Amino acid sequence: MPNLYTDLEIPQLKISVRQPLGLFINNEFCPSSDGKTIETVNPSTGEVITSFQAASEKDVDKAVKAARDAFENVWSKTSAEQRGIYLSNLLKLIEEEQETLAALETLDAGKPFHSNAMGDLAQIMQLTRYFAGSADKYNKGDTIPLSSEKFAYTLKVPFGVVAQIIPWNYPLAMACWKLQGALAAGNTLVIKPAENTSLSLLYFATLIKKAGFPAGVVNILPGYGMLVGKSLASHMDVDKISFTGSTKVGGFVLEASGQSNLKDVTLECGGKSPALVFEDADLDKAVDWIAAGIFYNSGQNCTANSRVYVQSSIYDKFVEKFKEIAKKDWDVSGNFDPFDEKCLVGPVISSTQYDRIKEFIELGKKEEKLSMFQTSEFPVEQAKGYFIPPTIFTDVPQSSRLLQEEIFGPVVVVSKFENYDDAMKLANDTCYGLASAIFTGDVKKAHMFARDIKAGTVWVNSSNDEDVTVPFGGFKMSGIGRELGQSGVDTYLQTKAVHVNLK
């Protein structure tokens, strides 16, 4: 019998964690059917943390069956009020365990503990509170009078068994965006965390059980995407799948749905989000917001404002201030312990991602007419882990790969525009449409931008400050459907129409 738990020590916080390592099926941790495991690495040191069980196709079938049985026999008969109570119980446990959950995020994903991981937990608590309260409010239908002898009404009903695939950049937060909304709607779940950031969600499973959720309602299957993710996307007994990750893999999920049972699909995929800075903007505030919008979480955000367009009349002044704030507030030099309060920029997630970002930086160095600024020397020789200094490329042409492709790291490109029409043409010149930002003192211009930009989220004089009560999702190749807010429940409900003849 493999070891299904290990003890993890986090001396910086004086925390000891009894870490689950097994698959979570029917409220129990169990070994994988074929005995395979995955090593998880601390990206701030490059050292192996531990190994956990890796699910097989057989385990996927087992978890889906557990979710189906729980839905048919228990969860579909559980009142909306009771679902809200279970989520309220979960909220209390998250509040009690927030430091442990954040510490696991820091250890496994490299997130700076104080400025990043604890912020994620604050949002998780907020959204859990929101969805706990929504469980008996957002599943209401309508009554439709048709004539004196007939009326109709609609019912909003859960899909049943929902599969959810979680990315590595926000392991627990993205899981909770999906999990809490789907549970409030009345579905049962099979969740696959990313293979390199599974620890926090496995620990979170212990809170699911303590909160009183019946066995089989939530099942968590760590494993490889090409096996577990593919099996869930093509499974004939999964009614809906929700995926957050790359656009390329999102396409595979959509294709797998079409080739199996046409399960409903929600996708939140990549982005190359523009930020436009006009000459009438508050320049200091714009610089602060944009720096945070690209360097927070080491640039590993689908909504990161990685394309910055600045009106030519203020371009040089903006670039000067942008470099100053990057060096002052976002430098990685000497701060290689994400548990240190002074560490604001952690490592990127893996050696693979490190090499990919490095490749883009080398490409930028070779492009003519580009200027590059980095907050410190790269590679960062003193660091053991995958640290990349914030990097700014200026005067980047629209045709550059740096401007067109999602880099997913602390790398930003800055270019000029002349007027509003020019800015909009540049901003919409992308296959993505996840988020956008405008900085201006002109309210008319701000609303014109909101009208004209082809993106699911628009920030006016801010960036990357989403709220759990507001719907979130993308246009074009950035995704299908919406999460958070009322949409975070509605996306897990389908409508049934009932016709009643009184004759």
Distance between CA 24 and CA 221 in Å, rounded?
6
Helix, strand, coil percentages, rounded to 5, for the chain: 40, 25, 35
- 298 with 347: CB under 8 angstroms? yes
Question: Which residue spans within 280-350 are E strands per DSSP?
Answer: 307-311
Tokens of 193: 């965390």
- The DSSP element (H or E) to which 256 belongs, if any, is helix 247-259
- 10 Å Cβ neighbour count for 316? 12
Paired strand residues for 52: 38
Catalytic member of 97, 105, 195, 268: 268
Distance between CA 214 and CA 186 in Å, rounded?
12
- 330 with 373: CB under 8 angstroms? no
Q: What is residue 481's three-state secondary structure? A: coil
- 466 with 127: CB under 8 angstroms? no
Whose tokens are 């090499």? That residue is: 355
Paired strand residues for 40: 50
- 401 with 360: CB under 8 angstroms? yes
- 377 with 223: CB under 8 angstroms? no
The angle formed by the CA atoms of residues 71, 77 and 78, to the nearest 5 degrees, is: 95
Distance between CA 484 and CA 468 in Å, rounded?
5
Tokens of 268: 């939140």
- 106 with 117: CB under 8 angstroms? yes
The angle formed by the CA atoms of residues 455, 459 and 460, to the nearest 5 degrees, is: 125
Paired strand residues for 500: 151
Tokens of 75: 């969860």
End-to-end CA separation in angstroms for the chain: 66
Distance between CA 314 and CA 262 in Å, rounded?
51
Known active-site residue 268: yes
Active site amino acids: 268
